[in-house]
Amino acid sequence: MPVQLAQPTTDLNQARRDLDERGYCIVPGVLSRGEIEALRSRLQAQAHGERARGVAFHDGGPARPNQRIWMLLNKGRAFRDLMLHPIIAELMGHLLGPDFLVSSFTANIAHPGGEPMVLHTDQGYVGFWTPKPVVANIAWMLDDFSDANGGTRLVPGSHLDAAATPRSSAYAPDEPANMPTLEDTIAAEGPAGSILCFDGRIWHGTGANRIDKPRHALLSYHCRPFIRQQENFTLGLDPAIRDAERPALLNRLGFATWAGLGRVELPRPATPLFVTPGRVGPLGPDGAPLDPLT
């Protein structure tokens, strides 16, 4: 019997039921029009700036039309503020427990002509099915999401299928014999300002944008506190941001011990941990650096 599809809802109790039963939920109206415009404007400027600097990352098939922007926490106050939005605690707290971390915060600008992403699960590297997720994701819709513009493809209910779990702990896990196909997927659709929240065990992938405009989305990936994060904030976060940021955000980025994990001899080692000279900070459309604290 097919899994019933989740309908957009502002009832967070229903959203949590959708996550449990279907592996995903869609919550409309999370971002105001002003927040959408501020986030999209900063994202577009950063995307232009990284292309101008020659540091842009592209994917989406052989033509590579899509652009991904990494480490958004270094690239604008608006992005850092978003990681303290109360809906994250509501939904990630349900999926991952109250002490969840931000694993990475990135963006995907799906341009026309991109190919559908290979279906995968976000915790495929674990190598075995888990009765509860250890990671989960939120896609923040800065444009309307539709089937036509590459709205995320999902296999509803696949988070509960232990037999469809990748069987390798390598970065590129082995595909299970009954791996879902694109024919099994539906497109997550919703108006700009909505979020798509999904369990790390569900099979999914970026869709193909078949219209003539780009589709902008932010992706906040979260994990349980004992999981290694996708972005290494102790190495990659700009020191000026670290020194100025709110404790609530720093704790969510892993700048705190948990159950004896993450300890150092001194609370602040004398030797800086920030050893990545190639960090990309906030850029204007022409590629010129901006104040990292703005």
pLDDT in tens, 78-133: 999 999 999 999 999 999 999 999 999 999 999 998 888 889 999 989 989 999 99
pLDDT-based confidence at residue 269 (cuts at 50, 70, 90): very low
pLDDT of 211-230, one tens digit each? 999 999 999 999 999 999 99
pLDDT of 146-160, one tens digit each? 999 999 999 999 999
- Do residues 288 and 49 make contact, with C-beta atoms less than 8 angstroms apart? yes
pLDDT-based confidence at residue 170 (cuts at 50, 70, 90): very low
H-state helical runs in 23-165: 33-53, 77-82, 86-96
How many CA within 13 A on the CB side of residue 190?
27
- Do residues 238 and 292 make contact, with C-beta atoms less than 8 angstroms apart? yes
pLDDT-based confidence at residue 51 (cuts at 50, 70, 90): very high
Q: What is the pTM of this model?
A: 0.89
| Cα 22 to Cα 177: distance, rounded to the nearest angstrom | 22
Q: What are residue 101's DSSP bridge partners?
A: 223
Residue 153 neighbours by CB distance under 10 Å? 22
CA distances from 53 to 97, 110, 283, 290, 291 (A): 40, 20, 9, 13, 17
Which CATH superfamily is 12-252 part of?
q2cbj1_9rhob like domain (2.60.120.620)
Mean pLDDT of 24-42: 98
The CA-to-CA distance between both ends of the chain, in Å, stands at 51
User: In Å, how far from its chain's centre is CA 152?
Assistant: 12
How many CA within 13 A on the CB side of residue 132?
9
